[in-house]
Amino acid sequence: MIQITPTAAQEIKRIQRSRQAPDSYLRLKLAQGGCLDFIYQFDLEAAEKQAIANSPFATLMSS
């Protein structure tokens, strides 16, 4: 499970506002790279695909 702290949630909301995309969804990814062979990536997307409930902001997860 990924937990997002209140401070991180505030920063995500700030980024959404700065990109003029307050209704966008957060996409979280685990990709190859980095010192331990994996890195976390995130992006904002406009389209809802598979939303996760009980999140302080709209969140998507790839299947």
**pLDDT at site 18:** 95
Q: Are strands 38-45 and 59-60 parallel, antiparallel or unpaired?
A: unpaired
Domain residues of the chain, as ranges? Answer: 6-60
Edge-to-edge strands, sheet with 25-32: 38-45, 25-32, 59-60
Specify the pLDDT at position 7. 95
Q: For residue 49, give both structure tokens.
A: 């695909």
Q: Where are the alpha helices (DSSP H) in 1-63?
A: 6-18
Report pLDDT digits (tens) over 29-61. 888 887 778 888 888 887 665 555 566 666 666
Average pLDDT over residues 1-9: 85
